[in-house]
Amino acid sequence: MAEALSVRNLVKHYPTLFGPGQQALRGLTLSVPTGAAFGLIGPNGAGKTTFIKVLLGVVRPTSGEVTVLGGDPQDLSVRARIGYLPERMHLPAALKGRDFLRSVSTLKGLSPSDAELGKMLERVGLANSQQRIGTFSKGMRQRLGLAAAMLGKPELLILDEPTDGIDPLGRVEVRALLLEEKARGATILLNSHLLAETERVCDRVGVLQLGQLKLDGTLEEIRHASSRWSVTFANGAEGADVAGFVRGEKGFHFEGDVAALNKAIDAARAKGLEITSVVPMTRDLEAVLSELQGSEEAK
């Protein structure tokens, strides 16, 4: 499968006049397939913003290889195929939304008609807005920034906190827009602290922590990346704890790999217990981050 972006052994070190400086990225290796919706998650200080800046060609890596849309992110022809929504936007207060989109189109080398600009404003829920940007709410600014990112149907959309400041109903609308962009073939890189939104939009997830990739895979792989199993017994389950199964609020569970699970099942059957179901226990992304943070603090 073709790759929309690929980094190998990526290192970014910010030197300082005094002290060792900051190592923002530590040998990061990651690839995102073309057409995927990829969620980049991790705690503050994980290196997410630096990684995005490297992909945009704003920051040069200290070492490592970076390929975006088959080329160098420093190449202007590559940048022209990327739509970007930054976390903090500085929009011209005196302009109206349509005028802003027209100016962005000019910078991108596009010549959309007024009708096309109007359609884009309609897509993001700003069709009836005749206000100047200076009077926009934060949510309206986010919508306008998303419209600007989508101009020209870019092959890669890099979105940093796209629903920040948008109300819950608005998030549903933004989510639908992102799924439409994915359906047309765009690759999406989404960085968001709203993990529930990431789960609803993305089919792949990467977890960054202290500049390193701790987990990478499909959403289902990430959610199942624990050796915990929910187990149901048919006949009382007396003595199940002796076999290694632990009674919890919602029945029994077992923690261990598949081999250990099978040994525990054999032991339970030897005691005359009948097992009716064994189901892998899934976690949401919040639990994944919490577990990783806890394991890091325990070192």
Q: Where in the chain is the domain with CATH 3.40.50.300?
A: 3-222
Number of residues written out for the chain: 299
What's the pLDDT at 298? 47
Give the whole-angstrom CA distance, residue 29 versus residue 10: 6
| Nearest CA among 98, 102, 105, 88 for reference residue 132 | 98
Residue matched to tokens 């200076």: 134
Instruction: Please state whether beta strands 37-41 and 187-191 pair in parallel, antiparallel, or not at all (unpaired).
Output: parallel
Side-chain-facing half-sphere of 275: CA atoms under 13 Å: 23
Q: Please give the CATH topology (third level) of the domain spanning 3-222.
A: Rossmann fold (3.40.50)
DSSP helix/strand/coil, 142: helix
- Read off the pTM: 0.80
DSSP helix/strand/coil, 18: coil
DSSP helix/strand/coil, 266: helix
Q: Report yes or no: 150 and 182 within 8 Å, Cβ to Cβ.
A: no
CB atoms within 10 A of CB 250: 7
Query: Which run of H or of E encompasses 157?
Result: strand 156-160
Per-position pLDDT tens, the chain of length 299: 689 999 999 999 988 877 777 889 999 999 999 999 999 988 888 899 999 999 999 999 999 999 999 999 999 999 999 999 998 888 999 999 999 999 999 999 999 999 999 999 999 999 877 889 999 988 899 999 999 999 999 999 999 988 888 888 889 999 999 999 999 999 999 998 878 888 889 999 998 888 999 888 887 777 665 677 888 887 666 555 656 788 777 678 887 778 888 888 888 888 778 888 888 776 667 776 676 665 555 45
What's the pLDDT at 280? 76
Give the whole-angstrom CA distance, residue 41 versus residue 192: 7
CB atoms within 10 A of CB 79: 19
CA angle 192, 146, 70 (to 5 degrees): 80
Residue matched to tokens 């900051």: 22
What is the SS3 assignment for 203-257? CEEEEEECCEEEEEEEHHHHHCCCCEEEEEECCCCCCCCCCCCEEECCEEEEECC
DSSP helix/strand/coil, 96: strand
Residues forming a β-bridge with 96: 132
